[in-house]
Amino acid sequence: MNNNIDIKKVWSDTLNLINLQVNQIIYDIWIKNLQPAGISGEEFILIAPYENTKNLINKNYKGIIETALISVCPFVKGINVITENDISLVKDEKPTPENVTEEYFNDYKINNTFFEERYTFDDFVIGESNQIAFAAAKAVADDPGIKHNPLFIYGGVGLGKTHIMHAIGNNILKKTPNKKIIYVNTEIFINDYIESIQNTKNNELNKEFRDKYRNVDVLMLDDIQFMRGKESQQALFHTFNELYQSKKQIVFSSDCHPRELNNMDDRLKSRFQSGLTVDISSPDIDTRIAILKRKAFQNRFNVSNEVINYIAESINTNIRELEGALIKVKFYCDLNKINADNIDVVKRALKDEIDNKTGPISMGLITSCVCEYFTLEQSEIMSKKRTKKINEARQIAILLISELMPVPLVTIGDYFGGRDHSTIIHARNKMSELIINDSQYSTYVKDIKNMINIKKK
Ligand code: ADP
Ligand code: MG
């Protein structure tokens, strides 16, 4: 029976649902990097890149993933998160009669980098906000290592950086399947590096790390703003030089311009800018409409122009949210067996999103909720004081403002007593990191978001 299940499609639909429910950073770093490996019995097998990712997913996100997965594919009853080392155990313990599982295990082993099939150049809608990044990526995919090396793509969350990187990967592999392309999130690069020096003497790079990152035709590092640690940066610097000298293509993405990468080694910053640096900005209304039309078509969702226009006007933050809104409307219509042909349906389906966007949210409201939560005075959070509590509360306020409000970083800096925007980026990234590594901080953020939602009504 599960011979007929398209596992990659099931997983990508599941990711769309999960994306609506978890913190963006957690989604990007932990959940999106799981790879579907097959179905064993009634369990959906997911491969985590590391033992610690596996444990973290099992501890905190198993329930969310299972609920989403079961709603996409009711045949599946649960998930089993394993690492590549466990593959043989799963296969031996629970042999399944279906070939599909074998196939997917093999697939996974041959090509370690998994490119989303739906992230192609053809499926990328071009508008004023992304046309230069698109053209640059296309040129790189046509002639890797020759034209723009490195290519550095930067822009806010949900604007298509990862999509473009996958499109480069898909495009090159289609023309030249033997090319070795490594695409990883920067967190994975750091993890790999740390693991590699733990397994060797004298801080020498071990062969596995070297093979993975230096013996490649194309290296793509996503979300380079998460790069940290002197030694990891050094490893990146040497990796860069070696690849660059042998004319291998390198592509980076980041949420800000290379010169704003505050904690980055200057030598790296200058390397990042030595090729072509392109940005992606927020899409205008025409692009948002075109994207919604494309996504509706891909999801076989019959939806009127009136509805498309309404969603495009209501959601103007980023493309991920735009896409999420459309999926939510589809889900609502499927569930209630109604057509998406009038605005009332959308208003009901997107009640939370639209209310959240139009409510009187402000930097003052966010900051006062943070202060109330940590029993601090507003003046303390604005001051230069750097006790642990004040510092962390300030970082949370900055993270929440940049996540919930479309204001430029300089404005946030001005609000917090004239701090410059690189300090703001640092504060935001620091807190994002803490949230990922310590569930206590994600609880704080969740509680404060609830407070904000209640207060603004
Ligand atoms: P980022 O990496 O910049 O945070 P992603 O690449 O993950 O953003 O994009 C978020 C979602 O929006 C993805 O599902 C992606 O396919 C979609 N998307 C972004 N830009 C476009 C575009 N120009 N055309 C079609 N889909 C897009
Ligand atoms: Mg991304």
> What gap in Å lies between CA 226 and CA 188, rounded to an integer?
10
Find the 157 Cα to ligand 2 centroid distance in Å.
7
- pLDDT beyond 80 at 107: no
Domains and their CATH numbers in the chain:
7-111 (3.30.300.180), 131-280 (3.40.50.300), 285-358 (1.10.8.60), 363-456 (1.10.1750.10)
User: Residue 269's pLDDT is what?
Assistant: 96
Contact 90, 82 (CB under 8 A): yes
Q: Is 130 in the pocket of ligand 1 (CB under 6 A)?
A: yes
Residue 87 has pLDDT above 80, yes or no: no
Structure-token pair, residue 306: 């009136």
Give the distance (Å) from ligand 2 centre to CA of residue 185: 8
Determine the residue of 320, 326, 402, 432 to mutate for testing ligand 1's pocket, defined as the one with the most ligand atoms within 8 A of the Cβ atom: 320
Does residue 101 have a pLDDT over 80? Answer: no
pLDDT digits (tens, 9 = 90+) for 191-212: 888 888 887 766 566 788 888 8
Q: Give me ligand 1 centre to Cα 136, in Å.
A: 16
For 283-342, the pLDDT digits (tens) are: 999 999 999 999 999 888 999 999 999 999 888 878 988 998 998 898 889 888 899 999
Which pLDDT band holds residue 98 (cuts at 50, 70, 90)?
very low
pLDDT-derived band at 165 (thresholds 50, 70, 90) equals very high
**Contact 154 CB / ligand 1 (< 6 Å):** no
Confidence tier at 10 by pLDDT (50, 70, 90)? confident
pLDDT of residue 359: 57
Amino acid 85: pLDDT: 79
What is the rounded CA–CA span in Å between residue 380 and residue 394? 9
CA distance 224 to 261: 9
Q: In which element (H, E) is residue 37 found?
A: strand 35-40
For 146-173, give the DSSP string. TSSSSEEEEE-TTSSHHHHHHHHHHHHH
327 lines ligand 1 (CB under 6 A): no
Asked if the model's pLDDT at residue 3 lies above 60, the reply is: no
For ligand 1, atom 23, which residue shows the shortest CA distance? 125
Contact yes or no for 367/397 (Cβ under 8 A):
yes
d(CA 229, CA 208): 20
What's the CA-to-centroid distance between 158 and ligand 1, angstroms?
Answer: 6
- What pLDDT does residue 413 have? 87
Confidence tier at 357 by pLDDT (50, 70, 90): low
Which residue puts its alpha carbon closest to atom 14 of ligand 1? Answer: 320
Q: What is the pLDDT of residues 381-395, one digit of tens each?
A: 988 888 999 999 999
**pTM, to two decimals:** 0.66
Using CA atoms, how far apart are residues 422 and 166, in angstroms rounded to an integer? 29
H or E stretch at 222? strand 218-222
Cα of 29 vs centre of ligand 2, distance in Å, is 9
Q: CA neighbours within 13 Å on the CB side: how many for 5?
A: 27
Considering only 90-104, 394-408, 430-444, which range has the smallest mean pLDDT? 90-104
Ligand whose nearest atom lies closest to the CA of 160 = 1
- The answer to whether residue 51 scores a pLDDT higher than 80 is yes
24 CA to centre of ligand 2 in angstroms: 10
Planar angle of CA 134, 140, 145, nearest 5 degrees: 160
**pLDDT band of 111, cuts 50, 70, 90:** very low
Which of 163, 185, 323 is the best mutation target for the ligand 1 pocket, counting ligand atoms within 8 Å of the beta carbon and taking the most?
Answer: 163
Element (H, E) at 36: strand 35-40
Identify the band that residue 356 occupies on the pLDDT scale cut at 50, 70 and 90: low
Instruction: State pLDDT tens for residues 233-289.
Output: 999 999 999 999 999 999 999 999 999 898 899 999 999 999 999 999 989 999 999
Residue with the smallest CA separation from ligand 1 atom 19 is: 160
Find the mean pLDDT for residues 353-357. 62
Q: Across all residues in the chain, what is the average pLDDT?
A: 85
**What share of the chain has pLDDT > 70, as a percent?**
90
Which pLDDT belongs to residue 103? Answer: 46
Residue 102 confidence class, pLDDT cut points 50, 70, 90: very low
Residues contacting 150, CB < 8 A, separation 6+: 240, 244, 249, 250, 251, 252, 271, 272, 274, 275, 276
Distances in whole angstroms, Cα of residue 391 to Cα of each of 380, 427, 439, 442: 10, 9, 18, 16
Query: Nearest C-alpha to atom 25 of ligand 1 is from which residue?
Result: 124
Residue 290 amino acid letter: A
Binding site membership of 159 for ligand 1 (Cβ less than 6 Å): yes
